[in-house]
Amino acid sequence: MPVSLHVHVRSVTVARRRVLGLAQTVLSLAGESTADMHLSLVGDRRMRQLNRRFRHKDRSTDVLAFASREGRAPHRFNQAAAQLGDIVIAMPTAWRQAKADGRPLEEELVTLLIHGVLHLCGYDHERSRPEALRMQKKERQMRGHLGPIGRFVRASHRPVRTTREV
């Protein structure tokens, strides 16, 4: 399967087929329907470790994207180009953001998934203001194509703990 999913948070259960289907649809909307991608849902502690190691920022963040390729390869040119990369989403951070915005966790997760996929495709909102606007526009377009998002996360409890920023 082009999309793989690993859930590393014990406090949640996700409808795997629904998440995998959403991820595949997001890849298709990004023009990467045949690409392989790995999605991990983690806790804040693990996300903080990843953010510190790869971005030198000692705090958790909502989503990280690790691209496997720098740019698009010509069609059928390179088998390695099929691997788009990895997306890691911090569930507790997503929960806090969803709560602060007054929207369901599923909506936040889809927003972060789209954001991560666009990073894997080469979009970078930190590069420049025009690039940030281009990415925001693409995010809105993709989200609009998805339509209503049903429930796909069940939690044993809602984490409210925040990571201590150093």
Domain ranges of the chain: 3-148
The second-level CATH assignment, the architecture, of 3-148 is: 3-Layer(aba) Sandwich (3.40)
The C-alpha torsion from 90 through 92 and 97 to 103, rounded to 10°, is: 110
User: Looking up tokens 């377009």, which residue turns up?
Assistant: 141
Per-residue pLDDT in tens (0 to 9) along the chain, 166 residues:
589 999 999 888 999 999 999 999 999 999 999 999 999 999 999 999 999 999 999 999 999 999 997 655 444 444 445 889 999 999 999 999 999 999 999 999 999 999 999 999 999 998 999 999 999 999 999 999 999 999 999 876 554 444 433 3
Give the model's pLDDT for residue 165. 38
Give the model's pLDDT for residue 10. 87
| 137-166 exposure pattern, b = at least 16 Cβ within 10 A, e = fewer | ebbeebbeeeeebeebbeeeeebeeebeee
Question: Whole-prediction pTM value?
Answer: 0.86
